[in-house]
Amino acid sequence: MNAKYKCVGHPASVNKETDEPYKDEYSGCGNEFEGKVGPSQGYRIVNGEREDIPTGCTVCGSIYVEWTNHDEMTKQWEQEAAPSCPLCDRPLIPGQSINDHHLVPVSKGGKEKFAIHVVCHSKIHHTFTEKELADTYHTWEALRGHPEMKKFVKWICKKDPEFLSKNKDTQQRKRKRRR
């Protein structure tokens, strides 16, 4: 995704094509363009913070540009930098969509816990008994290898990282967990 900018000008803004200065020295040409974020052409200090300026305006050359899709790109970067769920590999976004899972249940002596999506955690515990988790499905590879979990991972990978849903219990699963 490219950054989107709008030229806001500066005192020396001139039109590259006509070599004429703009009448309102701070208005810039208003040109909207896309560019990469970094390497920067320079930087400026805004409210005491360094702000990189990735490129100049493609029409007037002004380095005073306004980043118009900053929030959208920041969200994308946060998702790319976020750790991923060990089951579905979607980014883990801090908040109510994450909780901890013990590969070996605490009741069976498990201590190590991992951050995982709530919906993935719920699916694991709706599919397996604690005995099955402790004896057979105590690795991420084993969990992902189970046919029902394969189907779930294929489905959940298409959902937003903050997606929440309840797994429905079948009567058979309820009886299985009571044993």
For the cut 80, the answer to whether the pLDDT of residue 23 exceeds it is: no
In degrees and rounded to multiples of 5, residue 165 shows phi and psi of -160, 155
Span 36-52, pLDDT tens digits: 554 344 555 566 666 65
Three-state DSSP class for 42?
strand
Cβ of 123: how many Cβ atoms within 10 Å?
23
For the cut 80, the answer to whether the pLDDT of residue 6 exceeds it is: no
Query: What's the pLDDT band for 110 if we cut at 50, 70, 90?
Result: confident
Span 121-155, pLDDT tens digits: 999 999 999 999 999 999 999 999 999 999 999 99
Q: What percent of the chain stands above pLDDT 90?
A: 27
Span 153-167, pLDDT tens digits: 999 988 888 888 766
What span, in angstroms and rounded, lies between the C-alpha atoms of 152 and 145?
A: 11
Nearest to 167 by CA among 147, 178, 152, 157: 152
| pTM for this model (two decimals) | 0.52
**Tokens 């020295």 belong to which residue?**
25
